Structure 1
């Protein structure tokens, strides 16, 4: 074990990248902190990538919630025998989305914890079972950085900017966004196939595909999700009205989805040009919602 510990610097110096699968207790473990300290000294040109596990939790819960909503919707519609039950079915089908949003708020608290821990980092507070290991790590950090205080300043300053800046640009990777829209897209294609099997005209099919599938189920749903994620992060802090906060975020998200779906329906049932106009506007809003930080930097520096 001691030989492995002393050989750690050799392994780190040969590694092009150190990928940190961050969980809430990562910076509370002294050996994990030691890896960060050793890697930057052993490999100054190496890249440290922070990959928090809460991002996967956010994506997974959103996927499960979206598919649950779609399944509940189709089940309630299949069971509908009266108009009043149809409207009740819409409400019942949205219950999984509320649960997913509440879990999203819990996950985004971990991002707040990550930022707070890096800003107030203190290596003395990190835990280690063995007193010998603790002395060994502190000796290495002092040798590399001059003192434990200097290492704390490095983590709170340069390392904080290096790790957090990529996360602030885009919390969820692009490929994950592609996964998140699959539930609504499959629902949109279901209606598209119904129109096709029902003998719909080419213009009707094209209007539905452009206005509903692309405009509402893809672009506008991305806008709604982005808004929901932003609200979850903004109001992630715990309070006595925790469930009420989630309910308000949920209602804003649902209102956004319903508004976009209604506009898409009006557009595609009016004409092909109206469907194209709606989808163009929805696409512009979607691009802006994802790239507004970059647009702001280019505009104001």
Structure 2
């Protein structure tokens, strides 16, 4: 459910976050006396040095907007935007086929071919024991038989779970960054101890995320290996009626179980796409550091900074650093975890691989952040 919640609602969460940020920005600019600014920090951008008012309200608005977008997504009036014809209707087998009444269940199973033939996409919410279930394998093959032009999408639920964990870590970074500004830690302890060190501390939970991602990507690689070695006799079926139905249908559609196994091993495995984090999820995650950067940019603008200073902060910090670089680092995180997804066996070498991936990702993020900070603060051209 969590995976479906994120995969179907991330667009609305992104839209709600954008609306919340625009409204908060308008309040900041149009009615500054309405904003309580309990903190100040010393800004230093392109020669502009002054104490600027700092508030947490854009961060608060970002959280409220994102959560509101997710919660309101199931109730969004799709039909008003013509989405009723966009293919958003779905057939979920476990929900649409009766699981208690044997007569209704048999009727639903015999009618599933019609749904498979009409569906433009078969979305598989994949978990590691997927191939051990005969019915799941049968649905994949039946969909391709009934709908040769349809799209098969493999959607491992661990991707969505990891997105939630990465979001928590990024919010930790934003809070640490905002806290360093609010309490002026850079003035007291220097740039490294006052800012870089808190960010590095906030990234520590990413090590656990890396370890979990390597495990699940290993399971993904095992999926393709199991598909290439698939044998029908290795799949299990809890209901005798289901097993009889599946074997009968396979004999009718493919001629023999050997032909069906060849289809799974040679054809089906080629049609399942590679699995990684989508650009949409990366963009949604990038809104978290963008919120913190917008808070600082708005503080600089309200502090009386010239236009070129505000533009340098907006382009270099908000867009260049927290949008582009964060999305690059997120792709790097998932691709490295996929590349080094060795068999998950307890041991020192396995943990060292996790540590190596974590260090590469964390260092890339921190080095890019430091270089970007120095570039846009010291040169207007550096923001580009």
Task: Settle same-fold status: TM greater than 0.5.
Answer: yes
Query: Structure 1 regions of 5+ residues with no counterpart?
Result: 277-301
Q: Larger deviation: 216-225 or 75-84?
A: 75-84
Match of 2:149, SS state, is coil
Query: Structure 2 regions of 5+ residues with no counterpart?
Result: 1-104
- 2:211–2:354 Cα contact (<8 Å) kept: yes
Q: Which residue of 1 aligns with 2:19?
A: none
Equivalent positions of 1:143-154 (< 5 A) are: 143-154=252-263
Equivalent positions of 1:156-175 (< 5 A) are: 156-164=265-273, 167=274, 171-175=276-280
Q: TM-score, normalised by structure 1?
A: 0.80
Verify: 1:275 aligned to 2:383, yes or no.
Answer: yes
Q: Which residue of 2 aligns with 1:49?
A: 153
Match of 2:122, SS state, is strand
Q: After superposition, what is the alpha-carbon deviation per residue over 1:222-241, rounded to whole angstroms, capped at 9, x for unaligned?
A: 22222222111122222413
Q: Which residue of 1 aligns with 2:363?
A: 255
- Deviation of 1:115 after TM superposition, in Å, equals 2.0
Q: How far, CA to CA, are the matches of 2:121 and 2:309 in structure 1?
A: 52
- 1:63–1:180 Cα contact (<8 Å) kept: yes
Q: How far, CA to CA, are the matches of 2:360 and 2:161 in structure 1?
A: 22
- Deviation of 1:154 after TM superposition, in Å, equals 0.8
Q: Which of residues 62, 78, 83 in structure 1 aligns to 2:189?
A: 83
- Deviation of 1:35 after TM superposition, in Å, equals 1.8
- Deviation of 1:72 after TM superposition, in Å, equals 4.2
Q: After superposition, what is the alpha-carbon deviation per residue over 1:78-125, rounded to whole angstroms, capped at 9, x for unaligned?
A: 676962873653443222232333333233233223222222222211
- Deviation of 1:38 after TM superposition, in Å, equals 2.5
Q: Which residue of 2 aligns with 1:226?
A: 331
Higher helix fraction (1 or 2):
1
Q: Which residue of 1 aligns with 2:115?
A: 11
Verify: 1:265 aligned to 2:362, yes or no.
Answer: no
Match of 2:126, SS state, is coil
Consecutive aligned runs of 4 or more in structure 1 exceeding 6 Å deviation: none
Q: Which residue of 1 aligns with 2:54?
A: none
Q: How far, CA to CA, are the matches of 2:380 and 2:188 in structure 1?
A: 33
Q: How far, CA to CA, are the matches of 2:175 and 2:108 in structure 1?
A: 52
Verify: 1:116 aligned to 2:225, yes or no.
Answer: yes
Q: How far, CA to CA, are the matches of 2:264 and 2:245 in structure 1?
A: 19
Q: Which residue of 2 aligns with 1:40?
A: 144
Match of 2:359, SS state, is helix
Q: How far, CA to CA, are the matches of 1:88 and 1:265 in structure 2?
A: 15
- 1:69–1:95 Cα contact (<8 Å) kept: no
Q: Which residue of 2 aligns with 1:189?
A: 294
Q: After superposition, what is the alpha-carbon deviation per residue over 1:120-152, rounded to whole angstroms, capped at 9, x for unaligned?
A: 222211111234432331222122112111111
Q: TM-score, normalised by structure 2?
A: 0.64
Q: Which of residues 309, 318, 327 in structure 2 aligns to 1:204?
A: 309
Q: How far, CA to CA, are the matches of 1:132 and 1:119 in structure 2?
A: 27
- 2:169–2:202 Cα contact (<8 Å) kept: no
Number of residue pairs matched? 272
Verify: 1:20 aligned to 2:124, yes or no.
Answer: yes
CA change 1:48–1:160 in 2 (3 A) is: same
Match of 1:68, SS state, is helix
- 1:57–1:107 Cα contact (<8 Å) kept: no
Higher strand fraction (1 or 2):
2
Equivalent positions of 1:286-301 (< 5 A) are: none
